[in-house]
Amino acid sequence: MTTPTNAAEKETCPAQSLLKLLSGKWKPEIFRLAADGPLRFSQLLRTIEGANKQSLSVALRELEEVGLLQKLVIREKPLHIEYHITETGQQLIAVLRQLENIK
C-alpha cells in the first residue's frame, strides 16, 4: 500500500472524501435523522437545536447536491417538502453502522 505524497493524492482518499461530504455544522445530524425515515424541513428545524432556516437550507442543498438526500415536493394542500435518503446514502449508512461496531 502506498502513502499519499502530495495534496492531489490525499484528496482522493475515500475517508477524506467522506469527511468532506459530511462536514458542516448540521449535515451529520441531518443525515443521522434522515436514516430513520423521511423528514420535513419544519421537523428538522424543531429537532436540531440551534439550527436556523438559512443554515439548514444550505446544508440540505449540499447533501442533495452530493447525492445523499433527495428532495420530494408533495403537491397537496398545503404543499410540503420531504427529504429522503438516497440509495447512495443508504449504502453510506451501512458503512457507518459497521464502523460503530468497531471496538
For residue 36, tell me if it sits in a domain. yes
**Domain tally for the chain?**
1
Pairing of strands 69-74, 39-40: unpaired
- CB atoms under 10 Å from CB of 56, counted, come to 18
pTM score of the predicted model? 0.77
Q: How far apart are CA 100 and CA 25, in angstroms?
A: 21
Cβ 44 vs Cβ 33: under 8 Å: yes
- What is residue 87's predicted lDDT score, i.e. its pLDDT? 94
User: Model confidence over 24-56: pLDDT tens digits?
Assistant: 888 888 988 998 999 999 999 999 999 999 999
Domain that holds residue 95: 24-100
β-partners of residue 71 are: 83
**CA 27 to CA 19: how far, in whole Å?**
11
Residue 22 pLDDT: 78
The pLDDT value given to residue 86 = 95
Q: Is residue 9 one of the residues assigned to a domain?
A: no
- Whether 12 is covered by a domain: the verdict is no
For residue 58, give the CATH number of its domain.
Answer: 1.10.10.10
